[in-house]
């Protein structure tokens, strides 16, 4: 897995999977599959998962830790190209909504597996910083990897 910030407003995540793009795409769009893995830290579950995988289709994920802690995410699908590309927007409710995070997810055939490239675009650097600091957004917070290496190297 790689995680990088790009420019002032992007966060890019890549990950390889030992399954064809169709399977990885389905695991990103079908609620009964999403609920099994998109959970973040151990102990969290997703009791509500709405994923209407069509243009303008709704997204709503609700997480709880079973101890009174919880938050939710809403969004809309913009473009879907089975089984290679998904474009959607999402926002966390904490409980006030965060600015929209525009996300493009690509699934490219990589031998017998899949290379996934997830590219987030935030409205501005400040929002990206807030997102990273808040530390939610289904465990998708990336990092100032480049900065870290600069600072700690």
Partner 1 sequence: MPNLDAAFSALSDPTRRAILARLALGETTVMELAEPFEMSQPAVSRHLKVLENAGLIVRRVEGAKHPCRLAKAGVEAIDEWLAMLREALARNYDRLDQILADMKPENGKV
Contact positions vs partner 1 (CB under 8 A): 1, 3, 8, 13, 15, 17-20, 22-24, 26-27, 33, 36-42, 125-126, 128-130, 132-135, 138-145, 147-148, 150-153
Phi, psi at residue 135, to the nearest 5°?
Answer: 70, 40
**50 versus 132: smaller Cβ distance to partner 1:** 132
> Which residue in 122, 89, 82, 125 sits closest to 104, CA to CA?
89
Give me the half-sphere count of Cα atoms (radius 13 Å) on the Cβ side of residue 25: 17
Shortest CB 61 distance to partner 1, Å: 12
Residue 16 has which token pair? 């390889």
Closer Cβ to partner 1, 19 or 50, answer by number: 19
CB of 131 to partner 1, least distance (A): 9
Contact 39, 63 (CB under 8 A): yes
- For partner 1, the closer of residues 33 and 78 by Cβ is 33
Residue 77 vs 107, nearer CB to partner 1: 107
Contact between 52 and 59 (Cβ < 8 Å): yes
Give the DSSP letter of residue 121. Answer: E
* Nearest approach, Cβ of residue 80 and partner 1 (Å): 19
Minimum CB separation of residue 92 from partner 1 in Å reads 14
């Amino acid at each position: 897995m790689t995680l990088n910030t790009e420019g002032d407003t992007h966060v890019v995540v890549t990950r390889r999977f030992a399954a064809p793009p169709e399977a990885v795409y389905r695991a990103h769009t079908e609620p009964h599959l999403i609920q099994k893995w998109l959970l973040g830290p151990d102990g969290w579950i997703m009791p509500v998962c709405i994923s209407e995988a069509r243009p303008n289709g709704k997204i709503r994920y609700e997480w709880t830790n079973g101890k009174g802690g919880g938050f939710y995410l809403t969004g809309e699908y913009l473009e879907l190209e089975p089984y290679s590309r998904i474009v959607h927007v999402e926002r966390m409710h904490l409980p006030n909504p965060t600015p929209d995070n525009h996300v493009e997810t690509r699934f490219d055939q990589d031998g017998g597996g899949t290379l996934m490239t997830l590219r987030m675009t935030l409205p501005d650097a400040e929002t990206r910083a807030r997102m990273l600091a808040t530390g939610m957004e289904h465990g998708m917070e990336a990092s100032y990897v480049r900065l870290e290496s600069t600072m700690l190297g």
